[in-house]
């Protein structure tokens, strides 16, 4: 069994990882992007498509952070409600925001087809609940979104409907988003990077930023070179900034885990997933998800508040949890990969967009609601730079209240205790 934050099933099954040089010279460009994950590579590709001379610098290897450990869920919406968004800035703006998440999800599918990215894309995402008290809420949700967001087809599911997709006896209801889905996030990232480079963009790995100096031009000083540019976009997540930095005080640092089983035999696979590869998730703050993958495995993941030190015991613990949901697999599967890593979750579950100046943008906090927004945020910022800032104006309105990290950690521990006492995953 593989146990490492970096030796993941995604890494093992992704398309060939591209390799890029370290920046050792002084170069010039229109837009410099810092951070080689979904948001940064998305910004790079969109800037190149718009005819901009764009450069991306990454302190390690692209996709080595949260992107390489993401759940791989491609979904519209956010891990908050339309009512909460409406409380922030009105129903009309909330609908505009939500529609943009649909556009973000659809843009991923468009890129997959446009650039022929082989990333094990599975269409369709089923939300499952074991809580019968949520029945009316699910039905109202489906009715509301069917009426106001007809470009995002959705259907409600009974217990029997859920069993046709995934044999989870304890599930009592669900809803199925037909245009959402899942994929291998690293394969998609590598495909976007190759598409950007093909259009003239430059990527530099193992290139750390030392300083950003704004004068007549912006100078990004790195460990071995410099980038002189008109605009800079900083794209990060759990690993950006010190403990007291604005970025750290705007998000909760949490661990997410994934386990992946060894391939199942076909008879067992047909029993638990009658329709083949599929993607399922819970809703709510303690979100969990699973995928029946194209290579006949089960991927299971979600938030984890405790430190993962022993891979064997942790895998056994999570496999026991998975048995609870899929009892037919008990005694028939083994864990092949297990990994975890820190992610940055905004306190209000809405990604953070910040303009340091008219030439300097910062964005982070994409975890907790699928990959669509993180794969689209760079697109939004590049458009703002090119004087089309309609979506950026909407995204940047929500400002999270800064909270010290010790408060975050305390909240996380309390949440873990309550979760273990009173809740189970797939209850929301």
pLDDT score, position 252: 66
Tell me the C-alpha distance between 312 and 317, whole Å: 9
User: Is the pLDDT score of 204 beyond 60?
Assistant: yes
Higher pLDDT pick, 240 / 17? 17
Mean pLDDT of 120-137: 89
What DSSP string runs through 97-158? HHHHHHHHHHHHHHHHHHTT--S--EEEEEEEE--GGGHHHHHHHHHHHHHH-TTS-EEEEE
Higher pLDDT pick, 398 / 135? 135
**Would residue 85 count as lying in a domain?**
yes
Structural domain of 341: 2-422
Mean pLDDT of 193-213: 97
How confident is the prediction for the chain on average, in pLDDT?
85
User: Is the pLDDT score of 193 beyond 80?
Assistant: yes
Question: What's the DSSP call for residue 23?
Answer: P
User: Is the pLDDT score of 106 beyond 70?
Assistant: yes
Residues near 333 by beta carbon (within 8 Å), at least 6 away in sequence: 261, 262, 264, 268, 298, 319
Partners of 259 in beta bridges = 300, 338
279, two tokens = 């993607």
Strand ranges inside 268-328, DSSP E: 278-281, 289-292, 298-304
Closest CA to 73 of 171, 159, 180: 180
Query: Given 3-state DSSP classes, what are the helix, strand and coil percentages for the chain, each rounded to the nearest 5?
Result: 35, 25, 40
> What's the CATH code of the domain at 233?
3.50.50.60
The predicted-structure confidence for 273-291, as pLDDT tens digits, reads as follows 999 999 999 875 456 899 9
**Would residue 29 count as lying in a domain?**
yes
Burial 141-156 (b: 16+ CB within 10 A, else e): bbeebeeebeebebeb
Specify burial of residue 421 (Cβ count, 10 A radius: 0-12, 13-18, 19+): exposed
Question: What's the DSSP call for residue 61?
Answer: -
Residues near 248 by beta carbon (within 8 Å), at least 6 away in sequence: 240, 241, 242, 405
pLDDT score, position 370: 72
**Would residue 428 count as lying in a domain?**
no
Higher pLDDT pick, 422 / 176? 176
Percent pLDDT > 70 in the chain is: 83
Q: Which of 105-119, 122-136, 297-311 has the highest mean pLDDT?
A: 105-119
Tell me the C-alpha distance between 172 and 176, whole Å: 14
**Would residue 361 count as lying in a domain?**
yes
221, two tokens = 């000083």
Mean pLDDT of 365-374: 78
Closest CA to 62 of 86, 35, 43, 84: 35
**Would residue 427 count as lying in a domain?**
no
What is the reported pTM?
A: 0.91
Number of domains forming the structure of the chain: 1
pLDDT band at 73 (very low <50, low <70, confident <90, very high): very high
Our CA angle for 143, 151, 141, nearest 5°, is 20
Q: Do residues 395 and 97 make contact, with C-beta atoms less than 8 angstroms apart?
A: yes
Closest CA to 382 of 219, 229, 240, 245: 229
**Would residue 157 count as lying in a domain?**
yes
Among 250-264, 281-295, 388-402, which is the least confidently predicted range? 388-402
Mean pLDDT of 120-145: 89
Tell me the C-alpha distance between 378 and 131, whole Å: 37
266, two tokens = 């076909």
pLDDT score, position 243: 46
pLDDT score, position 161: 95
**Would residue 392 count as lying in a domain?**
yes
Q: Do residues 126 and 157 make contact, with C-beta atoms less than 8 angstroms apart?
A: yes
| Cβ neighbour number for residue 417 with a 10 Å cutoff | 10
pLDDT score, position 369: 65
Burial 315-339 (b: 16+ CB within 10 A, else e): beebbeebeebbeebeeebebbbbb
Tokens 């556009």 map to which residue? 103
């Amino acid at each position: 069994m593989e146990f490492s934050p970096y030796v993941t099933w995604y890494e093992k099954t992704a398309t060939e990882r591209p390799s890029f040089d370290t920046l050792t010279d002084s170069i010039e460009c229109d837009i410099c992007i810092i951070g080689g994950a979904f948001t940064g590579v998305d910004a790079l590709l969109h800037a190149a498509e718009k005819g901009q001379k764009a450069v991306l610098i990454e302190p390690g290897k692209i996709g080595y952070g949260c992107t390489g450990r993401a759940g791989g869920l491609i979904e519209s919406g956010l891990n908050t409600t339309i009512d909460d968004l409406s409380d922030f800035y009105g129903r009309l703006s909330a609908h505009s925001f939500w529609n943009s998440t649909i556009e973000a999800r659809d843009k991923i599918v468009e890129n997959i087809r446009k650039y022929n990215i082989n990333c094990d894309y599975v269409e369709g995402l089923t939300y499952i609940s074991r809580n019968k008290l949520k029945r009316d809420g699910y039905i109202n949700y489906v009715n509301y979104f069917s009426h106001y967001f007809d470009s995002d087809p959705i259907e409600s599911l009974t217990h029997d409907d859920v069993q046709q997709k995934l044999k989870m006896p304890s599930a009592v209801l669900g809803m199925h988003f037909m245009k959402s889905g899942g994929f291998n996030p690293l394969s998609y990232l590598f495909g976007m990077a190759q598409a950007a480079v093909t259009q003239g963009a430059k990527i530099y790995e193992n290139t750390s930023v030392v300083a950003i100096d704004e004068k007549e031009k912006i100078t990004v000083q790195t460990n071995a070179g410099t980038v002189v540019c008109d605009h800079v976009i900083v794209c990060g997540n759990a690993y950006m900034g010190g403990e007291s930095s604005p970025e750290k005080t705007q998000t909760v640092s949490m661990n997410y885990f994934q386990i992946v089983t060894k391939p199942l035999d076909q008879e067992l696979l047909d029993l638990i997933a009658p329709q083949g590869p599929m993607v399922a998730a819970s809703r709510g703050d303690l979100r969990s998800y699973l995928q029946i993958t194209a290579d006949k495995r089960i991927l299971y993941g979600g938030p984890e508040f405790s430190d993962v030190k022993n891979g064997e015991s942790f895998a056994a613990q999570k496999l026991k949890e998975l048995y609870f949901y899929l009892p037919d697999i008990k005694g028939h599967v083994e864990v092949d990969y297990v990994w975890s890593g820190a992610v940055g979750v905004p306190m209000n579950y809405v990604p953070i967009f910040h303009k340091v100046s008219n030439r300097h943008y910062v964005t982070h906090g994409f975890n907790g609601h699928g990959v669509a927004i993180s794969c689209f945020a760079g697109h939004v910022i590049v458009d703002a730079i090119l004087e089309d800032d309609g979506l950026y104006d909407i995204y940047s309105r929500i400002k999270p209240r800064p909270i010290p990290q010790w408060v975050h950690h305390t909240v996380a521990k309390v949440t873990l205790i309550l979760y273990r006492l009173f809740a189970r995953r797939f209850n929301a």
